[in-house]
Amino acid sequence: MLLGVLLAALPFLVDAGLGRTWVRILDFTLLYMMLALGLNIVVGYAGLLDLGYIAFYAVGAYLYALLASPQFGLHLPFWLLLPLGALVAGLFGMLLGAPTLRLRGDYLAIVTLGFGEIVRIFMNNLNAPVNITNGPQGISLIDPISIAGVSLGQTHTFAGIEFSSAHSYYYLFLALTLLVMFVSMRLQDSRIGRAWAAIREDETAAEAMGINTRNVKLLAFAMGASFGGVSGGLFAGFQGFISPESFNLLESIMILCMIVLGGMGNIAGVLLGAFLLTVLPEALRSIGDFQRWYFNRIIVDPADLRMLLFGLALVLMMLFRPQGMIPSAQRRREFKHDDAPQEPAPLYDQQK
């Protein structure tokens, strides 16, 4: 109850305390939470390492942008586009999943990485000879999301309270994030969720237990991808502009880092990871102020420094807490087990 009030009041508190920019950052945090929860299905639940997840986000975003912008003169409503985005992204997920079913571990990671890059390169180049994606310039003037005739792109006054665009999107994203969270939670302990866990732990044994590993793995890819597709559509409507630059490999890696840092397979951990990795790079922008205060001048451009610190943080986090901040109960046990003194220590663990 208290949490509910806090979540509802958050954009106003942030707006008053830190300014409008931070409300937008809050919106992005929710978007990344949805993405991270989607990837968590593939990586955390089913144990399939996916380094090209951003491709599905891109598919959802481009689908929305193409069908609701002056690019083709189409302006379809968002309640049609979001499910469509989920469906198409899900199909792309199957497309990626089908040929890679036999691959494991690192190999799967590299193939998915290649897939992500292929999608990006196509979006970058599909402007000639037929202009579909408008190439590197991207698509602009995308319709804002509008619900029942109320466009979220404008400021509205409701019951005497002023809702800016960033505020309205916050509530939409919050509702959808909660929905995605609910679905994730229900999935985890469902029949499918247990099948995913079985595949993650031991694929051969899972198959012997009568799990149709092919279908279950495809389902993981499709589910995770469709979450990505929905987030992508929301991103396009929220931002009003998309270009292939938003969907590079670093973004895929960022989302993976969110779930690994937060705690793979654990919803609370994933949410925390997404929150930290969205807010932290923004907060690191204030390094410039710190330098001015401490050295009286800017020594290193803060924009350059923040990614450097981010890389450093990744390394340190993995070195000192590889299980993530809030690991799932099962992973916590695994790590405890690993910490026990091992006399004849193997050089490296066998592939899990």
Partner 1 sequence: MDIFLQQLINGLVLGSVYALVALGYTMVYGILELINFAHGEVTMIGAMVALSVIGALVGHVALPGVVIVAMGVLVAVPVCMLLGFTIERVAYRPLRHAPRLAPLITAIGVSILLQNLAMIIWGREYVKFPPILSSATHQVAGATISDLQIFILVLSLLIMAGLVALVQKTKLGRAMRATAQAPQVAALMGVNVNSVISLTFIIGSAIAAIAGVMVAAYYGLAHYYMGFMLGLKAFTAAVLGGIGNLAGAMLGGLLLGVIESLGAGYIGDITGGFMGSNYQDVFAFFVLILVLVLRPSGLLGEQVGERA
**Residues in contact with partner 1 by the rule CB under 8 A:** 49, 99-100, 102-107, 109-111, 113-115, 117-118, 121-122, 124-125, 128-129, 202-205, 249-250, 253, 256-257, 260, 264, 300-301, 304-305, 307-308, 310-315, 318-319, 322, 334, 338, 342, 344-352
What residues form DSSP beta bridges with 137?
none
Query: What are residue 322's DSSP bridge partners?
Result: none
- Extract the runs of DSSP E, i.e. beta strands, from the chain: 68-69, 74-75, 146-147, 150-151, 156-158, 161-163
In the numeric block, which tokens belong to residue 311? Answer: 């890389």
Cβ density class 235-255: b for 16+ within 10 Å, e for less: bbbbbbebbbebbeeebbbbb
Residue with tokens 């960033």: 166
Residue 105: CB minimum distance to partner 1, A: 6
Best CA proximity match to 26, nearest among 15, 37, 39, 38: 15
The least CB distance from residue 251 to partner 1, in Å, is 12
Q: How far apart are CA 146 and CA 155, in angstroms?
A: 12
Q: Which is nearer to partner 1, 214 or 352 (CB)?
A: 352
Q: Give, as one character, the DSSP assignment of residue 242.
A: B
Residue nearer to partner 1 on the CB measure, 77 or 311: 311
- Measured from the CB atom, the residue of 27 and 50 that comes closer to partner 1 is 50
For residue 82, the minimal CB distance to partner 1 (Å) is 29
CB 263 within 8 A of CB 257: no
Considering the complex, state which of residue 129 and residue 160 has its C-beta at the smaller distance from partner 1: 129
Q: Least CB distance from residue 21 to partner 1, whole Å? A: 23
Structure tokens, 324: 């993530």
Nearer to partner 1, 233 or 273 (CB): 273
Residue closer to partner 1, measured from CB, 26 or 257: 257
Q: What is the closest distance, in whole angstroms, from the C-beta atom of residue 133 to partner 1 in the complex?
A: 13
Q: Are 155 and 20 in contact (CB under 8 A)?
A: no
Contacts of 140 by beta carbon, 8 Å cutoff, 6+ apart? 69, 240, 241
Query: To the nearest whole angstrom, how small is the minimum distance from the Cβ of residue 303 to partner 1?
Result: 10
> Could you say which DSSP state residue 45 is in?
I
- Minimum Å gap between C-beta 229 and partner 1 is 21
Smallest distance, partner 1 to C-beta of residue 100, A? 7
* Residue 24 vs 306, nearer CB to partner 1: 306
Q: Are 281 and 306 in contact (CB under 8 A)?
A: yes
Q: Which residues are registered as beta bridge partners of 157?
A: 162
8 Å CB contact between 219 and 202: no
Nearer to partner 1, 79 or 107 (CB): 107
